[in-house]
Structure 1
Amino acid sequence: MSGGEKSRMGAISAEQLLALNDEMAALVRAGVPLERGLLHLGQDVPGRVGAIATQLGQRMQAGESLADIIERDAKVFPPAWRAVVQAGMRSGHLASALEGMSRSTRRAVELRRAILLALVYPVVVLTLAYGVFLFLLTYYWPVIQSAYADLTSKRDMPWAGISRLGEVVEQWALVVPAVAVLLLGIWWYRSSRAIRTWTGPAARRSFRIRFWRWPTVGQSLRDGRMATFAELLALMNQHEVPMPEAIVLAADASGDRGLAEASREIARRVSNGEKLRDRRDLPAHFPPLLGWSIVSGSGTAALTRTLTTSAETYRQRAARAATWAVVYLPIALTAFIGGTVVFSLAFLVFYPIVSLLYDLALPQ
């Protein structure tokens, strides 16, 4: 790829990365030479994915290795994906590594879509309620105010606040929906970028400001990353890749920043000749299940088995959490937003009437 082509090639999206990842895993699994398969893929698949596949195939045919290509095109491919490829090639199981990455990425993409679908009905309800709210402030409230002024002179704080809102309704009526649409657009863009990037401060912030804070959503994504780590570490351990190198590669591929930091600390200790005999020998913030897997596997075969078991456990936990989020998130959002809307409109309609009747019933 020439310098001009590189400059025109922006970062790949989450959906495009998932499609490319699946196709590459299938090619490797089928035993097709990757450079030849990517060239055929580029001819068969239209759009961005096909263009990237063609360029990868051409450069590999020209003698560049896949690891060198993705390292030089760091702005196109996210760090976690580059680490997955490196770990897969180092272990000799590139297809398995790519398939594990696909499972985690696909779950994140599906959760993102589920959240968007969960927002549709509440957003419709909120839009209609906002229209009713503006109607009440513009037409209903002035009539109530006029009647109130004729019958009593008392005013309380809620009354004054609603009256003030009605007086300046023209100033904010269009601002509120415009800001809401802008925030939704930012959420959609940053969620795609966070899924693609997986790691780093920007991704962590973008996960933090959205519904990813919903407990089961965050749990599903985190368990998926832990499963990727355990699978890749098991593959590299099976092929006797040195532990300091293997654990760092697997952690980088997982996309979990905290796990990567803890893994580098473990790699440093192992390189210095320290023995990992129990959980206390590992960093405090290292995941307990993974820590148990590492310290309980005394030999290569035993460690591979325990890591494989841990990976399957994390995969099952991630799937359960994702299912729970997809089923209950729409219900929770609808109940919360619908309940808030009903209460707000009921207050706006009935409060002035009740307040007026109460004041009229007081002794003069």
Structure 2
Amino acid sequence: MTQSSSSLDDLILLNREIAALVKAGIPLELGLKGLAGNVGTRLGGLSERLSKRMAEGTSLPDALALEGPAVSPVYTAVMEAGLSSGRLPDALESMAASGQVMQETRQRIRLAIIYPLFCGVISYGLLAGFLTFFLPHLLRGIEGLGLPYLWPIEGLKFLDQHKTYVTLVIPAVVLAVVVVTALLRKNVTRGLWRWMTSFRWVPGVTSIRQSQNWAQFTELLAMQLEHAAPLPRAFRLAADSVDHTGWHQESRMVCDKLELGIPLPLALESSRLLPPLARWMISTAERQGTLIPTLRQLSEMYRRRALLQAARLKTWLPVMITIGVTGVIGLAYGLLCFIPMRALLIGLMQE
């Protein structure tokens, strides 16, 4: 799933609504039409468009694909795999659970960043005040006393000469980048905005997402094989549910081998992105005739791993960010005051 015109919250809610409609036996085109009038503007518009297309004879995956970048191809792949296995509600509930974990993790990261970000802004303001109001008087005092310019004072003199960049240019550039990125997030800077708001740059988030991807892949593959789906088609649909471009390319090669009649263990030998443990367990289970139960075990294992990783991240990230940012700020201000005073005292003692 991606955040574009439809937010992650919207797609999680849509997942659960579609699952409920399928379980209740209500035709999706009618249920989505009724949903459109009872939810927010964005989700309501999406539901109404899907209902209209399905009433015209378009399948649900194709109706979603017509949304373009607003709905991820991964999300459409999960829909198609769920329909193919006859267990669409289970597939959607699984993806909704994964989306909920990522949403809660992102919210915790946002909260963890707010305090250090506030401290950083205040500290930068104090630095600008130090360079503007205090440093010029300090340098004039040293010059008036005729003290030698030791290297710390030379460094401060350099900052004083270029303080316009620190106090005006750098903040203006940062503010302009943030504003432009936010305003153009659906056009020119869509990729940058998506990367920033996905928090994949935060250590640990990518690992959580990868664990969820493999849990989803193995679960969807097991669902389809339980309903006697052909292995190449089942593998392709399950692989498309993984949010990883490199894996999509690699899985196509595996599917090509499967369609040629090559056994699954041999087809997976060239795979480098599938985790070694998963590759070994799938290959062994295929030989022993226990592929479906093994896929179920792998799915549960990766699901538990994602939850554990998310719990650790949500516990330790706020602490580490706060300690890191406030520690750096405290050290910087301590050195900023201590080093010039030490140089001043050394200069006075040499007189």
Q: Deviations over 1:59-99 (max 9, x none)?
A: 22232221332233334321111111111111111111112
The number of residue pairs the alignment matches comes to 346
Q: Deviations over 1:258-313 (max 9, x none)?
A: 33223222212222222234797342332123213321223897211111110111
Structure 2 length-normalised TM: 0.88
Task: Tell me which residue corresponds to 2:76.
Answer: 82
Q: Deviations over 1:229-272 (max 9, x none)?
A: 11111111111111111111111112122332232222122222
Question: Would you say 1:99 and 2:93 are equivalent positions?
Answer: yes
Q: Secondary structure at the match of 1:240?
A: coil
User: Which moved further from structure 2: 183-192 or 148-157?
Assistant: 183-192
Cα distance, 1:219 vs. partner? Answer: 0.9
Classify 1:172/1:137 alpha carbon distance in 2 versus 1 (closer, same or farther; 3 Å): closer
Q: Distance in 2 between matches of 1:252 and 1:190?
A: 29
Q: Distance in 2 between matches of 1:210 and 1:152?
A: 56
Structure 1 length-normalised TM: 0.85
Matches within 5 A, 1:231-246: 231-246=219-234
Q: Deviations over 1:190-249 (max 9, x none)?
A: 9999xxx9xxxx58x964998524442221111011111111111111111111111111
What 5-or-longer segments of structure 2 have no aligned partner?
none
Task: Tell me which residue corresponds to 1:291.
Answer: 279
Question: Would you say 1:46 and 2:34 are equivalent positions?
Answer: no
User: Which moved further from structure 2: 113-122 or 269-278?
Assistant: 269-278
Classify 1:59/1:89 alpha carbon distance in 2 versus 1 (closer, same or farther; 3 Å): same
Cα distance, 1:160 vs. partner? Answer: 2.3
Which of 327, 342, 345 is the aligned partner of 2:315?
Answer: 327
Q: Distance in 1 between matches of 2:221 and 2:183?
A: 32
What letter is aligned with 2:318?
P
Q: Is the 8 A contact 1:152 1:359 kept in 2?
A: no
Question: Would you say 1:28 and 2:3 are equivalent positions?
Answer: no
Task: Tell me which residue corresponds to 2:342.
Answer: 354
Question: Would you say 1:123 and 2:111 are equivalent positions?
Answer: no
Q: Distance in 1 between matches of 2:171 and 2:137?
A: 26
Cα distance, 1:141 vs. partner? Answer: 1.3
User: Which moved further from structure 2: 40-49 or 313-322?
Assistant: 40-49
Q: In angstroms, what is the RMSD of aligned CA positions?
A: 3.0
Matches within 5 A, 1:264-343: 264-277=252-265, 281-298=269-286, 302-343=290-331
Question: Would you say 1:166 and 2:160 are equivalent positions?
Answer: yes
Q: Distance in 2 between matches of 1:116 and 1:91?
A: 37
What letter is aligned with 1:238?
E
User: Which moved further from structure 2: 26-35 or 290-299?
Assistant: 290-299
Classify 1:182/1:237 alpha carbon distance in 2 versus 1 (closer, same or farther; 3 Å): farther
Task: Tell me which residue corresponds to 2:212.
Answer: 224
Q: Is the 8 A contact 1:152 1:360 kept in 2?
A: no
Task: Tell me which residue corresponds to 1:113.
Answer: 107
What 5-or-longer segments of structure 1 have no aligned partner?
1-9
Q: Distance in 1 between matches of 2:227 and 2:30?
A: 27
Q: Distance in 2 between matches of 1:217 and 1:310?
A: 20
What letter is aligned with 1:47?
T
User: Which moved further from structure 2: 11-20 or 210-219?
Assistant: 210-219
Aligned-pair identity in percent equals: 31
Q: Is the 8 A contact 2:109 2:317 kept in 1?
A: yes
Task: Tell me which residue corresponds to 2:9.
Answer: 15
Task: Tell me which residue corresponds to 1:4.
Answer: none
Q: Distance in 2 between matches of 1:156 and 1:351?
A: 10
